[in-house]
A = this chain, B = another copy of it.
């Protein structure tokens, strides 16, 4: 069987979800998957970015990370999405990209993709759950197969215990307040395992 193809699609203004995406990539490569780390195209005006030094810095540091395309969605067997919360929902940058997928959707090209999601917020109960659940609502429209981590590994308990997807609290200085690296990696391996079952079965 060919290896599972995983698209890790993130949006990050100051780096948290980018770091999470890279941890997912690391675990996915170790597991033998073909992996792409892709960012949702930035849609904020240049002045907004420039007015926030941390955002500007991260924006420039990740200029070489490719923007996600419709082709990537078609290519992948599985998606891991990672985004901060914006008032309990995903940022407009990610929704903007999702809103361009109508053609793929109409032609059934998004069916049976295996999906899981991750998020971050500034407060421990600041929308992490709501943001991931909102992602899954969208994925159900696609006919995706949803592989949230649940409590399938003890690491979930030590990393915040979010059964919908790994999530983290980020303080004002951009520091993650929970140790979630292993939870991200577990979620990635679980997503890939289910992807392999689906891929092998559906071939």
Is B86's CB under 8 angstroms from A95's CB?
Answer: yes
Chain B proximity of A69: nearest CB distance (Å): 15
A193 to B197, CA, bound (A): 12
A168's nearest neighbour on chain B, judged by CB, is: B125
CB distance from A138 to the nearest CB of B (A): 4
A10 at the interface (CB under 8 A from B): no
**A129 in the interface, Cβ–Cβ < 8 Å?**
yes
**In whole angstroms, how far apart are the Cα atoms of A149 and B152 in the complex?**
24
Q: Is the CB of B152 within 8 A of A148?
A: no
A126: chain B residues within 8 A (beta carbon): 161-163
Within 8 Å by CB of A95, from B95, B157, B196, lies B95
Q: Tell me whether B201 and A134 are in contact (CB under 8 A).
A: no
How many A residues are at the interface, by size bracket? 35 or more
- Per-residue B-contact encoding for A148-168, CB less than 8 Å = 1, 0 else: 111110001100111110010
A75 within 8 A of B: no
Is A37 part of the contact surface with B, judged by Cβ < 8 Å? no
Residue of B nearest to A125 (CB): B162
- Interface stretch (choices A26-34, A57-65, A139-147): A139-147
CA distance A99 to B193 in the complex (A): 29
From residue 72 to 126 of chain A, which have CB atoms closer than 8 A to chain B?
86-92, 95-96, 98-100, 105, 108, 111-112, 121-126
Cβ–Cβ contact A144 & B136, under 8 A = no
Q: Which residues of B contact A108 (CB under 8 A)?
A: 151-152
Task: Name the B residues within 8 Å of A151 (CB-CB).
Answer: 105, 108, 141, 143
Chain B residue nearest in CB terms to A95: B92
Set of chain B residues within 8 Å of A17, measured between Cβ atoms: none
A108 to B92 Cα, complex, angstroms: 22
Question: Does A137 lie at the interface of the complex (its beta carbon under 8 Å from any beta carbon of B)?
Answer: yes
- Residues from chain B with a CB closer than 8 A to the CB of A122 are 161
- With a CB–CB cut-off of 8 A, which chain B residues contact A128? 125, 129
From known contacts A124-B161, A126-B161, A133-B130, infer whether A89 and B89 are also in contact, taking CB-CB under 8 Å: yes
